Amino acid sequence: MRAINQTGAAISINGLSFSYDSEEVLTDVNLEVYPFDSICVVGPNGGGKSTLIKLIIGLLTPDTGTIRVFGEKPETARLRIGYVPQYALYDQQFPIAVFDVVCMGCLGKSFTGRYTRNDKERAMAALAETGLSSIADKPFSLLSGGQRQRVLIARALASNGDILILDEPTANIDHESELHFFDLLTELNKRMTILMVTHEVGFASTFFKRIACVNKQVVIHPTSALTGDLIRDMYDGDMRMIRHDHCCSEEGHKHD
C-alpha cells in the first residue's frame, strides 16, 4: 500500500506508559501510524482508548516513553490535528450557531483569537464539504445527532490538519447518518490520516486499513485487505469480534 510504504510516521509512540494516580492505564505501548493510514481503535471500557487519544493530542503527558506527531512533540504538533470529540458532551442549551462552532477550528493563529476573512472562508468550505452549508446559521442545539456530528467534523476540517482523530463518533447516531459518515471519511482519507475510537467494530471491515486493540497495551492488526471473512478468521467468529473482554499481549490474542 502506498501509505504504508511512505517513510516518516504520522504518529509514532515508543515504550509509553501512563497512569492516573496509582492505577496504570497504559503499559509499554508501541504504535506507528503512517500518513494516510486509517486506524480503528477498539477495546473495552476503561481499557485506555480515550487516554491514548488524549496523550496523542497532548492533553495528557506520558509517565514514560515518547510520542511524536510528525516528528514533533504533541504540544507543538497538535495544530496539525483535527479533533472530533463526542458530541454528547455538549451543553444542549448552549446558544451558538453552527457557523460559530465550525469557526473555532480556525482558532490558535492569533493571540486574541479574532478570525480573519480567510478563516471564515475556510469554515464555509468545511461546511460545504460536510454538506452543511444550508444550515450554517441554525442553532447548534436544534440539530439532530448526525448533524451535530458532522458539524464537529467540519470544525476539525476547518483546522486544516493532516490527521483527523475521532472519539466514538458513531455513538447515538442513526444508521443512515452512519453511512453518510463513512462516505465522508473515505473521501477525507485521501488527504488525511484517520484515527477513530469506536466500540462498534462492524465498520472496521469496510473502511479501516488497520485495527488497534487497546486494553492496557496496544496490539495492531495490520490488514491490507480487511474483509468480513478475514475478521471472522482473526477473531474466531462475528460474536467474538465485538467482545473486548480479552487480554491483548505481545504474543497476540489469548481467547478463553
Shortest reach from residue 52's CB to another protein, in Å? 15
Burial of 86 (0-12, 13-18, 19+ CB in 10 A): middle
Residue 168 in grid coordinates: 466514538
Locate the DSSP E strands across the chain: 11-20, 23-33, 38-42, 64-69, 81-84, 163-167, 193-197, 210-215, 217-222, 247-249, 252-254
Shortest reach from residue 137's CB to another protein, in Å? 8
- The residues pairing with 84 across neighbouring beta strands, listed in sequence order, are 166
Residue numbers at the binding site for another protein (CB under 8 A): 57-59, 78-79, 81, 83, 85, 90-91, 93-97, 100-101, 103-105, 107-109, 112-115, 139, 155, 159
Shortest reach from residue 213's CB to another protein, in Å? 25
For residues 159 and 217, which CB has a smaller minimum distance to another protein in the complex?
159
Q: Which residues contact 131 (CB under 8 A, 6 or more apart)?
A: 150, 180
Task: In whole angstroms, give the CA distance from residue 103 to residue 239.
Answer: 42
For residues 58 and 202, which CB has a smaller minimum distance to another protein in the complex?
58
For residues 195 and 219, which CB has a smaller minimum distance to another protein in the complex?
195
For residues 9 and 57, which CB has a smaller minimum distance to another protein in the complex?
57
Shortest reach from residue 136's CB to another protein, in Å? 12
Find out whether 218 and 43 touch, Cβ atoms under 8 Å.
Answer: no
Q: Rounded to an integer, what is the distance from CA 237 to the centroid of its chain?
A: 26
For residues 164 and 226, which CB has a smaller minimum distance to another protein in the complex?
164
Shortest reach from residue 100's CB to another protein, in Å? 6
